[in-house]
A and B are shown apart, each in its own frame.
Chain A
Amino acid sequence: MDANFAKENEPMYDAPLGKNDVDAKDTKIAAKDVQVYYGDTHAIKDVSVDLLDKTVTAFIGPSGCGKSTFLRCLNRMNDTIDICRVEGLIELDGEDIYDKRVDPVQLRAKVGMVFQKPNPFPKSIYDNVAYGPKIHGLAKNKAELDEIVEKALRRGAIWDEVKDRLDAPGTGLSGGQQQRLCIARAVATEPEVLLMDEPCSALDPIATAQVEELIDELRASYSVVIVTHSMQQAARVSQKTAFFHLGNLVEYGETSQIFTNPVDPRTESYITGRIG
């Protein structure tokens, strides 16, 4: 396990972040027997998984295995797709998120999301970050909003780069900066869970390293779920890993264990590069 926390020992940030003990954590999201259908296609089959608070969980698996679909179920982003149907139980802090009483808007404020391609709005950097707090009414006045924006940008590890040009359009930043802006934007609404759908796939290695570093920092405050294609990335940033294959959750466990000693032969095949 220690191998996976190598980064913690880097002197770049404060120590307390890494001191979380996996065993002591609560379950944040619990999924039981989740089925997802796209029209007639059965995309997710019988997936049950408990995602922990203050932990980075990685979803890995070959393309089309359903990991992104499952991720999008967790904040009901699939609602925006007409033909998509979700069955089974998904609970956030013990509350069914597919309950009739749930407004997806309220849910998504608690379960934020960062997308594959950086998608800053065609607005200023400031407005990009302030958008979420504004719609959720998190700030009473301009000063408070300024504070929230600054905090979010700092947490997104991009404050120093943009603090002098908050009025510049968010689309003018580089790819890595854009993605960190999007993370800052997601963080600004004070979510409890942060879902990331292949957040580094459109970035170059340097930007990827910066974002990965950021993800590790975010673990202190949130439950982070990350879908990734890169097994190295999963190994670098996550504490827990779930391996999906053909819509099934094949194996879920400690990242170190999945990568060093997988139980299921399919997991082993994937990790050693035979399927994927």
Chain B
Amino acid sequence: MNLVLPSLGFGIITASTLLPAAVGFTLQFSATGVLNIAFGAQMTFAAFIAYVCTQAGLSIWLALAAAAVCGALASALLNRFLLTPFARRGTTFFGMVVVTIALALLVEYAVELIWGPLPVSYPLTAPGLVHVGPMSFTHSQLVVLAIGVVFAIGTHALLRYTRAGKAIRAVADNRDLARSSGISAQRITDLAWLVSGLMGGAAGVMLGISLSSVSYTMGDTFLLEIVAAAVLGGVGQVYGAMLGALVIGVLLQESAIVLGGAYAPISAFAVLILVLLIRPTGILAGAAKAKGVS
């Protein structure tokens, strides 16, 4: 039997998880200029917060909301009390990357120390299957898909129709210009970290749901897929990241079927490298901006 179409369903689920993560990652990167390697670890942290919530008797969806909020707060605090002070001290771009790697290790291994090295899982309700053509989804997968769509629409609305969103876009396009036209960089930076923490937190829980297990290395592994989606879409391009998430998500699942599970990440990255060779600025990148000393 041909499995390509059914696995498209899995691909879409993976993409729904990848979408808020990639959008959050790229939004924060373009607005603040900090390449945040700790993003995956933040996702893991949120996923475990949700686990604690479900252990305390909350439903998984409430736990997801709580984890997203925690993720947002943690991310904002992190920026305020760690990254901004380092940036003020004149730490270079490269230095900041190293700071976030250190942070990733701290968070990841703290999670391991607290919750142990073995994976845990969320209590999910019995899986009734819903069939859509050749694809079938569990109820939780459908909710994950719905959340992904909500995030896509929400991001679009935020960036297009709110003042804050427009300001983020302006800063992402040209930080110096935006600053000189009176946009408060500090507030936008805070907001960008908050939003990316929210999205990352939600994505962490969504990942835990779709993998049906949560472990301390989970976010770190997933980070590579996030980076792949973000780079594929053109770093800083929010809609590009959405498209990148879809492409990488579907590609991961399809190649798992065609080539075998172990090869799935490799094929996705191979496509990424190929795209970069043809279009170094990503699939959705606009015309090259005159970057540099101006």
Does A pair with B? no
Q: Which residues of B are interface residues toward A (Cβ below 8 A)?
A: none
Q: Which residues of A are interface residues toward B (Cβ below 8 A)?
A: none
